[in-house]
Amino acid sequence: MIALTAAEVAAATGGTLHAVAPATVVHGSVVTDSRQVETGGLFVALPGEHVDGHDFAATAVAAGAAAVLAARPLADDEGRGLPTVVVPDVEVALGELAREVLARLRLAALEPGGSGLRVIGVTGSVGKTTTKDLLAQLCGAAGPTIAPVRSFNNEIGLPLTVLRADESTRFLVLEMGASGPGHLDYLTRIAPPDVAVVLVVGQAHLGGFGGIEAVARAKSEIVQGLVPDGVAVLNADDHRVLAMSALAPGEVVTFGASTGAGVRATDVVVDRAGRARFTLVVADGTAQRQEARVELRLVGEHHVHNALAAAAAALAVGLTLEDVAASLTAADALSPHRMHVVDRADGVTVIDDSYNANPDSMRAALKALAVVAGRDRRSVAVLGEMLELGEGSRAAHDAIGELVVRLNIGLTVVVGEGARPIGDGANREGSWGDEVALVDDVDAAERFLETELRPGDVVLVKSSFGAGLWQLGDRLTDPTTHPAATAVTS
């Protein structure tokens, strides 16, 4: 975080000082984990489901924290007061601190020699994290860039990401997630984007929204949260996203497969490893059509869409088409459990896409599995529950089972009672009995695969995070279990 006095932290958060001098300088990282404290940093004592950050405040101060952001005055075991900024609500205060820091950074960026800071926000039902990772690499090649680790995209993760920025930061890439109305409005009030990217309106978190049109309204909040002259980067292939053009305060840039899209891909070819190559075409109506070749290292044709979104946003903040194409060709998927491909020593290839799942991403991953396996390798899909789908959950799982049969997946392992309709759908669609196996949990799935997998198999692991198949993904790719395993795509 940029250097602030304790008094300035208190002013930004509406807090009061306890056992800390107003002139004390807070200049290190802002963290919620006492094990990550740096000298001079700020420890944020968030209450949690299982632990309360206030219980670790003394440990954080002993490790070098200059102050603690907390909901009450704190003391160590001997009764000595801990340096604390006491606030009514720690989570809200964290957001207010991030808002103040970003406002200061924007002013500094306008000064002679300033960084020219640009903020890019990314949202959508599918592909946020991959697009964020691509943008981090595109922008990172052009200047100092801050982007979230993993999927820090909520009311805690976003402020923590903002607070990592400093006066040298040229690009601040933010993933913005929403599981209900008003969430993106809150996040954009903390960090109004200069460029807002909307990928797709899909069926993720339907249970929290109440319907697809409500999802669209919620996603549109990022466009309404743009700075006054901000640029909206919208998916031309999704009519709900394209309709957000009417809400944009400034320029609209479109991307997609549609011929009218300003940034699109032509001549798309997918190789046997599941990687796409294409011609990146830019034709915004005001400049002559430009083209550049791109060869993605990411596995799955669906990543072409994410690459187009990242390209459009990068062009909007001033990168050249040549640099964008080169960086896309060199880019990897940075976050774990996102189409992470490992070739094991026993001849089995594992595609670990177990971080999250909804009907759209499940379909995309299954299609990628079918491509990688081709006709000469057996495809194995290990599928868990897709959570937060509301009343349509059973039908959505059933439809995935039907797709498994249509894609001719060799073996489908359905994990957990919540995912059982996948098996039902596969059987109704015409699967033979031995092509679908139902197991109770992750441990049972691992035991089944230990006896079932054979050299040449290609295995996809996919579920919502809460269903826990990420644990199986870790086990199947663990180098201590398979010492000669080699990651070919991260």
Residues marked as binding for ATP? 124-130
> For 217, left (φ over 0), alpha (ψ -120 to 50), or beta?
alpha
Chain centroid to CA 54: 28
**Residue ranges of the binding site:** 124-130
What Cα–Cα distance (Å) separates residue 63 from each residue in 2, 56, 67, 186, 328? 20, 11, 11, 32, 40
- Tell me the one-letter amino acid at 76: D
379-to-156, 210, 269, 388, 459 alpha-carbon distances in Å: 39, 35, 21, 27, 6
CA distance 320 to 317: 9
> Using CA atoms, how far apart are residues 94 and 433, in angstroms rounded to an integer?
53
Can you tell me the distance from the alpha carbon of 408 to that of 410, in angstroms, rounded to the nearest whole number?
6
Query: How many other CB atoms are there within 10 angstroms of residue 446's CB atom?
Result: 16
Q: Tell me which amino acid residue 451 is.
A: T
Strand 436-439 versus strand 4-5 pairing type: unpaired
Nearest of 177, 426, 197, 163 to residue 315 by alpha carbon = 197
- Note whether 182 and 221 are within 8 A (CB): yes
